[in-house]
Homo-oligomer: A and B are copies of this chain.
Amino acid sequence: MGDFEPVSVGIVGASGYGGVQLVRLLLDHPNVDIVYLGGQGSAGKPFSDIYPHLEHRFKLEVEPVEVDRIADRCQVVFLSLPNGLAWTMAPALLEKGCKVLDLSADYRFFNLDTYQAWYGGDRTDGEVAASAVYGLPELYRDRIQEANLVGCPGCYPTASLLAVAPLLKQGLIAPETLVIDAKSGTSGGGRQAKTNLLLAEASSSISAYGVARHRHTPEIEQICSDLAGHEMMVQFTPHLVPMVRGILATVYATLRDPGLVREDLATIYNAFYRSSPWVKVLPSGVYPQTKWACGSNLNYIGIEVDPRTGRVIVMSVIDNLLKGQAGQALQAMNLMLGLEETAGLPTLGFYP
C-alpha cells in the first residue's frame, strides 16, 4: 500500500459530532485526503471557527452542499446528515461515480416500507436503496467490499447486534426471550441544543426513553431476523447515561440448551469473530466498561451464563462516536477501497 495514491474524501454535514469525528479520524488515516467539507448553516466559515482546537491540523472551509461540486472532487463521500436527507443526494452522487457512506438511517433498511413506517417520508429511490449494503463489517464484510453505497448502522444496533449475532446465527437462544437494555452517553443525541441534553438536566441522572418505540428497534430486528433465518422481534430499551461517550448493551436471552456453560459460549464467540479485528471477547468474570472502548474502534464483549435461570447475559460496549458511528464508517470505507480493515483506526482507548 506504500504507493497508494491518496483517496479524495468529502464529508457532507461536517459540523456535528459525526462530522468532527470523521475529520479527526480521516486526518490520521494514511491513505486519504479530506478535500471537501459541506454544511448548510456553516458554509463559508473555516471549520476551525466551529472547532478551534483543530486549527493547527486542518484549515479547510465549509462549502455549500452541491452535488456537482462534491462529485467533481471526491471519490468517497460521507453523508452525516439528519435522517431523510441522504436519499435526496445519494443517487446523484452514485451516478457520478462516487462511493457513498451514509451515517443516517436512510439506507439501513432492506425494505423501504419498514423505513417509512418508522421514519416517515415518501421515498422515490427504491432501486438505489435496494443496492445499499448494511455497513456492519463483522456481519456483511463481503458485501461491503463490493458496495458503492453503504448504510452505516446506528450506534445502538451496532452494540446490540455484535452482542447477539453468534447466539442467533447458531440458534442458541429462544428468540422471543431477547431483551436488550442499552445505555448511552449523551453525545448520541448530537450537538444540537436540546433541553434534556443540558448538563444541568442530564448529569447526575439516568432515565429510559423511547420505551417500546425507539427507531433503532426495527433496525435491530431486521438484522436479528436475517441472522436467525426467520422474522423475530426484540425488546429494546435505550437509556440516557450521564457521560459523554460510550454505549453498553446488556442483553438477556434464555438458552435453548440449558446445559451450555460460559466456556461453550466463549468458544463460539471467539470462533465467530475470529476474522474480526475490532471485536474482543473478554475472559471469564471480566465485564466491559464503556471507558475501555472510548477513543478506539473496539467492541468489548463480556459473557455470563446464569445456571439458576438458564439465561445468557451478554454485555457489549463501544464508543458510540467511533465503532457506533464515524469509526465504523471508516472501517467500511477501508473495505470498499480494498484497504486493511484496521487502516487509520485507533486500537487503544483513552482510558482513564
Contact = CB atoms under 8 A, between A and B. Distances in A.
Interface string A67-100: 0000000000000000000000000000000000
Copies of this chain, whole number? 4
Contacts of A185: 200, 204
A271 B19 CA distance: 33
A195 B193 contact: yes
B352 A179 contact: no
A212 B308 contact: yes
A238 B327 CA distance: 30
Q: Which of A203, A234, A349 has the most CB of B within 10 A?
A: A203
A348 interface: yes
Given A248-B206, A289-B205, A194 B193 contact: yes
Contact of A351 (B20, B183, B197, B289): B20
Interface in A119-145: none
A256 to B, nearest CB: 15
A212 B243 contact: no
Interface string A324-352: 00000000000000000000000111111
Interface residues of A, number: 87
A193 B198 contact: yes
Given A306-B212, A350-B295, A204 B24 contact: no
Contacts of A31: none
A177 interface: yes
Contact of A203 (B194, B243, B348): B243
A283 B347 CA distance: 33
A207 B290 contact: yes
Contact of A198 (B199, B286, B304, B309): B199
A115 interface: no
11 contacts: A179-B179, A179-B181, A191-B201, A194-B198, A199-B244, A206-B289, A207-B317, A211-B315, A212-B308, A241-B242, A242-B243
Q: 4 shortest A-B CB distances, which residue pairs?
A: A53-B292, A205-B291, A193-B193, A212-B306
